[in-house]
């Protein structure tokens, strides 16, 4: 463990930076930085060569988790120790583990060149619940999807979403802040078949959809689904047959079943 | 709306009952009663002839939602008006809608006679997260599953689970507090094939499992999965093939994919 001084002033620029980043989307996008919290998540970030700027650890975390922290291959990063009080201040959880990292936004290649004509993609349009977005990213990771494209969703770099992804953030390629107006023509230009997920018994049943070629499935907002103009512009409207009421599948669960079928179609 | 007196004393026996029921599992099971909160949930309960004992509505909910409440077919139940302060006291949410019902535990027929040899069942063993349990019940509802059997899970009648089911509690047959030691022999006696959901690449892939006959899938605890003795006693160990890390499917999502395959196999 490092022997440097313990940061204990709330006016310390690193602490002020963290506070700004966890509380404001605007600040995150102004700096292109976000905060990771939790030993496991920080470990995942380091293992995946995420562009970490600094690692902050509280005094008691440094003492308690000395053995664990010592096992982390820091790849040259140094650790700054902060007081426990400051740890509580920059934490987005009720009981912090006391391990934080400030990380630059994850790099992603230009979409135009990255989209593969035989790839399988998930397009999320106006999704607003951080827990749902995180769980969908985890599931996309499990299903080995080629990419998640985010249009007008809640901020993927918010502390809640980052935590809910359980590290899948570093494993699934994703494109943030896409524009649906330009994305759909681009997908079609690449000959990727677009499927709009809708709640409509007249739409094609998902089990009879052919996902063997390049496919992108579009999923809409929790309450309102996809805008009509968007589903109308897709190649196929498809639906998950349900027995219960319309409310009985939540957005993340519907996305999970879609990802499962998409993965099955790939093989 | 009724014109009776507004209950405003925290010592009122109805209020004290609600407080006991929302805060303690022991009290719920001593009385065989639980609390529903939210207009939609109370409406669902009434529509499904749930054994409601009383409906409580705050003064401001009665004013604001007069039109909505007037549309609810109360089936002879009367509404008691309570003060807004008491509404906040008996609420399990941060911002209450102010609509509550006290309901008897839902009746279910004896398992021995209810289990159908060609039925499709989900058995949850030691599941501990209320949000997961609620979401699984919703999904079981959407998939038209014949029943959910709960062994050692978190309490289905806790406010968090009840809320997370979004009313599916009243639509999906479920059996609470089953004992796995007696349940497995009973399922086998009924010639229902038992599938243990495990994380083990040597187990049978779920897509190649035959769910056309009577089937029960067992899902274990979020962290530890099924006890080895339980999966060993099942007819088949099956698994969801994954690309990512072991952590990349949460318990509710895994259950959702299993329910989806189970439903597909039924047809």
Helix, strand, coil in percent for chain B, rounding step 5? 40, 20, 40
A250 contacts in B (CB within 8 Å)? 135, 138
Q: Tell me if B143 sits within 8 A of B167, measured CB to CB.
A: no
Q: Pick from A144, A245, A256: which is nearest to B243 by CB? A: A144
> Strand A236-239 relative to strand A33-37: parallel, antiparallel, unpaired?
unpaired
**Cβ(B260)–Cβ(B140) under 8 Å?**
no
- The predicted complex's ipTM stands at 0.86
Torsion-angle region of B57 (φ positive above 0: left; ψ -120 to 50: alpha; else: beta): beta
Residue showing tokens 């997370």: B164
The pLDDT assigned to B247 comes to 63
pLDDT in tens, A144-181: 999 999 999 999 999 999 999 999 999 999 999 899 99
Name the band, by pLDDT with cuts 50, 70 and 90, for residue B267.
Answer: low
Alpha-carbon distances of A261 from A93, A172, A185, A220, rounded to whole Å: 35, 18, 24, 18
Nearest to B222 by CA among B259, B247, B194, B200: B247
Residues of A with CB under 8 A from a CB of B: 135, 138-139, 141-144, 166-168, 171, 207, 240, 242-245, 247-250, 252-253, 256-257, 260, 263-264
Does the pLDDT at position B3 exceed 50?
A: no
Taking the C-alpha atoms of residue A76 and residue A84, their distance in angstroms, rounded to an integer, is: 25
For residues A238 and A225, the answer to whether their CB atoms sit within 8 Å is: no
**Which of A29, A30, A34 is closest to A45 using CA atoms?**
A34
pLDDT tens by residue, A94-116 = 888 999 999 999 998 899 999 99
Q: Can you state the angle between helices B251-266 and A251-266, rounded to 10 degrees?
A: 60
Band of residue A267 on the pLDDT scale cut at 50, 70, 90: low
The structure tokens listed for B29 are 């099971």
Burial degree of A74 (CB within 10 A; 0-12, 13-18, 19+): middle
Nearest residue on chain A to B244, alpha-carbon basis: A142
Distance from CA of A10 to the nearest CA of B (A): 30
Q: Could you tell me which residues come within 8 angstroms of residue B213 by beta carbon, excluding any fewer than 6 positions away?
A: B118, B191, B193
pTM: 0.89
pLDDT in tens, A199-249: 888 999 999 999 999 999 999 998 899 999 999 999 999 999 988 665 668
């Amino acid at each position: 463990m490092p022997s440097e001084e313990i940061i204990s002033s709330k006016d310390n620029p690193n602490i002020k930076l963290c506070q700004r980043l966890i509380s404001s989307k605007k600040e995150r996008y102004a700096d292109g930085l976000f905060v990771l919290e939790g030993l496991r998540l920080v470990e995942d970030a380091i293992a995946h060569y995420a562009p970490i700027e600094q690692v902050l650890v509280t005094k008691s975390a440094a003492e308690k988790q000395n053995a664990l922290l010592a096992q982390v291959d820091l790849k040259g990063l140094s650790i700054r120790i902060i007081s426990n009080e400051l740890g509580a201040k920059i934490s987005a959880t009720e009981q912090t583990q006391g391990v934080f990292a400030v990380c630059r936004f994850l790099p992603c290649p230009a979409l135009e060149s990255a989209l593969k004509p035989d790839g399988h993609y998930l397009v999320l349009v106006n999704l607003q619940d951080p827990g749902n977005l995180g769980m969908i990213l985890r599931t996309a990771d499990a299903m080995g999807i080629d990419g998640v494209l985010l249009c007008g969703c809640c901020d993927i770099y918010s502390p809640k979403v980052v935590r809910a992804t359980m590290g899948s953030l570093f494993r699934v390629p994703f494109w943030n802040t896409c524009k649906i107006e330009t994305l759909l023509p681009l997908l079609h230009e690449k000959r990727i078949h677009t499927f709009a997920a809708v709640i409509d018994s007249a739409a094609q049943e998902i089990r009879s959809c052919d996902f063997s070629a390049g496919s992108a499935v579009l999923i809409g907002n929790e309450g309102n689904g996809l805008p009509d103009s968007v589903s109308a512009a897709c190649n196929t409207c498809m639906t998950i047959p349900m027995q219960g009421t319309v409310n009985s599948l939540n957005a993340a669960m519907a996305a999970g079943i879609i990802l499962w079928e998409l993965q099955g179609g790939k093989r």
